[in-house]
Amino acid sequence: MSKDNSAVLYLEDGTLFRGRLFGHPGERAGDVVFNTAMTGYGEILTDPSYRGQIVIMSYPHIGNYGINSDESEGYGIWPEGLIVKECCRGYSGFRAQTGLDRYLDSGGVIGLEGIDTRALVRKIRQRGSMPGIISSVDFDPESLRRKLEDTPPFSERNLVAEVNASDKAAHRVYSGGSSSGRIIGVVDFGAKLNILRRLEERGLSVKLFPGSVSIEEILSSGADCVLLSNGPGDPVSVKGGIELARDLIEYNREKRLPVFGICLGHQLLGLGAGGKTYRLKFGHHGGNHPVKDLRDERVRITSQNHNFCLDPETLPEGFEVTHINLNDRTVEGFRHRELPVMGVQFHPEGGPGPWESAYLFNEFMEYGNA
């Protein structure tokens, strides 16, 4: 293998994987995580929640149907890098506008193929998610080790601030539909576009705010309800989001402003309520996670992307767990028994993944009608 098309992945534990470059030449560091979805790589690449992460696709053949911008969850490519067993260059999707290789190259994102992704995923499952550096310009393990040591840890980066500061942030470029219904204020910590689409389909007029918004700004906008969006990173680092969640919960003790948190927004609501979060061993990333709704005992398959979880033992009085993950029994949803405050850890909007949990948007709208 010539160095012209070589690329490597160096992990924090000293393991070096050698493979082939696709996408854009370069070097990027991030937390290495794996995604178990068989499809949906276009949505994964455009999801701002993947900021700061190098994504392994566990399914071996990625790129078969190309890239279609209509399936984008954001503007631009957000992961630090993509790792696959094989990048398919002969895509055949009838709506495809370009291929995966060219798409990564145009976005300045490095890809690595030709390694044993099963062995890599097994290592992550056994040891847990860890930092890594992917490179097509440096192949020396000692040099890569030093670079990785100089990279700020994932949990110490305020990735929400990085997403919001980017010119690709949804709140800077999103133009909502022309619905004349109730106004929902969506706080953008890295919002997926499919969340906004699902809200508009239900007749809500979406008003998007950056993650630094205050409750006073939301109230002055005339919003009838609030959604705290998904986003990247450790929720504890999002100080402004925790404060906003706390303010929204307290506001609902006196007046009514229904609040719904999704993924990071769910974690921020839990922290704002007085709970605590912890880091999962290797996170949940994929479109096939079984979640049980404890209220009706139904099990639904969900799309997920998170590294942190809410500790149910720390939820204060008045709050209850509503959903659990059947793989590891972690919290997937909670609500206040009296206040119109609810959150779910998974993605009811799908994209990629099933839409079996879209009923939660209707449930949230019923809060607003009460």
Q: For the purposes of burial, counting CB atoms within 10 Å of the CB of 175, is it exposed (0-12), middle (13-18) or buried (19 or more)?
A: exposed
Q: Where, residue-wise, is CATH 3.50.30.20 in the chain? A: 3-151
Q: Which of 263, 309, 332, 336 is catalytic?
A: 263
For the question of residue 263 being annotated catalytic, the response is yes
Return the pLDDT at 24.
97
Residue 183 near residue 207 (C-beta atoms within 8 A): yes
Return the pLDDT at 88.
95
CATH architecture of 3-151: 3-Layer(bba) Sandwich (3.50)
The pTM of the full predicted model, rounded to 2 decimals, is 0.94
Return the pLDDT at 236.
96
Phi, psi of 88 (to 5 degrees): -80, 115
Return the pLDDT at 180.
55
Instruction: Please state the rounded mean pLDDT for residues 54-71.
Output: 95
Segment 250-303, tens digit of pLDDT = 999 999 999 999 999 999 999 999 999 999 999 999 999 999 999 999 999 999
- Classify the phi-psi angles of 20: left when phi > 0, otherwise alpha if psi is within -120 to 50, otherwise beta: beta
Return the pLDDT at 353.
87
Q: Is the pLDDT of residue 169 over 80?
A: no
Return the pLDDT at 2.
42
> What's the pLDDT band for 165 if we cut at 50, 70, 90?
confident
For the question of residue 88 being annotated catalytic, the response is no
The CATH class that applies to domain 161-369 reads alpha beta
Q: Is the pLDDT of residue 123 over 70?
A: yes
Q: Is the pLDDT of residue 3 over 90?
A: no
Instruction: Please state the rounded mean pLDDT for residues 150-159.
Output: 90
User: Distance (Å, rounded) from C-alpha 296 to C-alpha 274?
Assistant: 27
Residue 191 near residue 230 (C-beta atoms within 8 A): yes
Residue 75 near residue 170 (C-beta atoms within 8 A): yes
Instruction: Please state the rounded mean pLDDT for residues 220-228.
Output: 95
Phi, psi of 259 (to 5 degrees): -125, 135
Q: Is the pLDDT of residue 172 over 60?
A: no
Q: Is the pLDDT of residue 195 over 80?
A: yes
Q: What is the pLDDT of the chain when averaged over all its residues?
A: 93
Segment 85-119, tens digit of pLDDT = 999 999 999 999 999 999 999 999 999 999 999 99
Q: Where, residue-wise, is CATH 3.40.50.880 in the chain? A: 161-369
Helix, strand, coil % in the chain, rounded to nearest 5: 30, 30, 40
Q: Is the pLDDT of residue 171 over 80?
A: no
User: Distance (Å, rounded) from C-alpha 200 to C-alpha 204?
Assistant: 5
